[in-house]
Structure 1
């Protein structure tokens, strides 16, 4: 696998190669809201919201449109995209109708581009979302071969069907994965190549946060899952951009592992998720905006 050899290059050289492939030097900012939390019947090893795990997260049904609008308005003007994320394999009809109402309200009351992460979606639901020009999020998480190691209650093909159908119907798709799940470098390259084949619009890269109570945390404590080094993370981000030069590469959950090197990752990134994540705290938005402004000054 020729791309595997890229890991032998110096990190700064890979970041510079990725930087030269970027179509814009701007960093597209997005933020999410955990609009429905917990009680997920899927057994993804990393997820604090799974019923298979004993975590101390807040559990609640779909938030009101007023609450979601309040959060969105506070972000309007600071970020470009806002994503409604719900727990579970898929949403039921009543939930979906409420989400459509929420999206319509957000479009009326804010200037934000709207995304949503609603699990598996059929043609009828995708058609409704297409009317509202919504970007669909559905992470593959890892490559086809390694997927069985992180989830057994649904399949890689289940996710693939939603992504392929969304692309066929002309919707924008955001799909990426999590690194640090115990996968090999080759596994990561395979995921990058699969996403390239799918021609997704945006590829979020998450770094595993081993949350206490999850299976991933147990594997982490037993040394079966090893934490990735900063060098490994930066190289992986750069390689994803090199492979997927026509897609946005977006750094999302777990990026605090990069510590002061987050600014260096911007060389290879097109986008950044800011604010809090689903069940964990993110970095202060003011600090992120300052970091990005300083980055722009340096590269101009």
Structure 2
């Protein structure tokens, strides 16, 4: 989905400093916020034009994760959480879901699994087969989010045709111990470095609103920028029942938009996607994510919660005078310009409905 973040920027476009970012991220109301959005929108249009990319995902393996990430209902550490539990689905099911997402406008499709990493041979072979079939039978760009993977296993998936590797840093290094204690921030960096070494297009962002400060949001953006990440997924906490963060109060829509704008100004060349939590955190201001600098978003359901209908997502893009970006796989795209009302993929996510935002 992403071109390299190192490509030349248009004349007059330069990343802002972290010091300026720490000042601007507090512009969350009135004329100051409006000016920030106007600036971010101008940078997005100058660098990325009027195309918006959509990403679809499948929760290919759910629950019983050994990690203790405090936001995640799939952790085995939180027995009262409500995530569905099932083993890795078959390659044919993954491909069928990708085809459905493609028809809804997705240009990238990500295979997501719970757990520390995919290391079992049977599981790795299934994902290899799924990736090969995705490249042969669809136009979508295949992505995977498989945890703290090692270079040999990543190399196998690269050879199978995987184009993108996704691994979120989740939050700033200085706040990470408040989110997870079962692995280190450095282990996450090792995975990203291994994927980068192999030539993957890298997708790494985090979740905002977990109790971090505005300055720590800038710290996360600084870390991502230093890594040269191609795609930056920005999520907002959707508190899940039974997790340690179940009662964390949401940040406001205005704080979300200011953070997005700052990410855009700090990383003009990166593809910035608004992903999980946009419905509950932004509410009726979702359509402003593109003015805030985003040039991509999710279509369909999330890992363990229902998302907006594909039709509404596509309509939101087109209502801003923007258009969907096609995949770069040089294959005929199945999207015909009319997204379905229902997301008929990743339906297991519907087994447990999302909670409204906690105020």
TM range, smaller chain: over 0.9
> Residue in 2 aligned with 1:70?
96
Give me the whole-angstrom Cα distance separating, in 1, the residues matched to 2:92 and 2:249.
Answer: 42
One of 53, 58, 65 as aligned partner of 1:33? 58
One of 165, 168, 192 as aligned partner of 1:136? 165
- Check the 8 A contact 1:62/1:95 in 2, yes or no: yes
What TM-score do the two structures reach when normalised by structure 2? Answer: 0.79
Give me the whole-angstrom Cα distance separating, in 2, the residues matched to 1:7 and 1:175.
Answer: 20
> Residue in 2 aligned with 1:107?
135
1:161 and 2:179 aligned: no
Give me the whole-angstrom Cα distance separating, in 2, the residues matched to 1:273 and 1:76.
Answer: 12
Give me the whole-angstrom Cα distance separating, in 2, the residues matched to 1:274 and 1:179.
Answer: 20
> Residue in 1 aligned with 2:252?
229
Give me the whole-angstrom Cα distance separating, in 2, the residues matched to 1:130 and 1:215.
Answer: 36
One of 75, 79, 86 as aligned partner of 2:106? 79
Structure (1/2) with the larger helix percentage: 1
> Residue in 1 aligned with 2:87?
61
- Check the 8 A contact 2:144/2:162 in 1, yes or no: no
> Residue in 1 aligned with 2:354?
none
Aligned to 2:51, the other structure's residue is in SS state coil
> Residue in 1 aligned with 2:263?
240
Give me the whole-angstrom Cα distance separating, in 1, the residues matched to 2:53 and 2:37.
Answer: 18
Higher relative contact order (CA 8 A, sep 6+): 2
The 4+ residue runs of structure 1 with deviation greater than 3 A are none
Q: Which runs of 5+ in 2 are unaligned?
A: 1-18, 324-359
C-alpha distance 147-13 of structure 1, shift in aligned 2 (>3 A): same
State the 1:274 CA deviation. 1.3
**Can you list the C-alpha shifts for 1:155-209, whole angstroms capped at 9, x where unaligned?**
1001100101211222111000000000000110000010000010000000001
How many residues are aligned here? 292
Aligned to 2:63, the other structure's residue is in SS state coil
Give me the whole-angstrom Cα distance separating, in 2, the residues matched to 1:253 and 1:70.
Answer: 23
Aligned to 2:297, the other structure's residue is in SS state strand
What TM-score do the two structures reach when normalised by structure 1? Answer: 0.94
1:280 and 2:305 aligned: yes
- Check the 8 A contact 1:30/1:273 in 2, yes or no: yes
> Residue in 1 aligned with 2:25?
7
Give me the whole-angstrom Cα distance separating, in 1, the residues matched to 2:290 and 2:99.
Answer: 26
For residues 149-188 of structure 1, the aligned pairs below 5 Å read: 149-188=178-217
Give me the whole-angstrom Cα distance separating, in 2, the residues matched to 1:169 and 1:108.
Answer: 22
Aligned to 1:226, the other structure's residue is in SS state coil
Aligned to 2:110, the other structure's residue is in SS state strand
Give me the whole-angstrom Cα distance separating, in 1, the residues matched to 2:128 and 2:88.
Answer: 12
RMSD over aligned Cα atoms:
1.3
For residues 244-255 of structure 1, the aligned pairs below 5 Å read: 244-255=267-278
1:16 and 2:31 aligned: no
Give me the whole-angstrom Cα distance separating, in 1, the residues matched to 2:51 and 2:38.
Answer: 16
- Check the 8 A contact 1:62/1:86 in 2, yes or no: yes
Give me the whole-angstrom Cα distance separating, in 2, the residues matched to 1:161 and 1:129.
Answer: 17
- Check the 8 A contact 1:81/1:113 in 2, yes or no: yes
> Residue in 2 aligned with 1:207?
236
1:89 and 2:116 aligned: yes
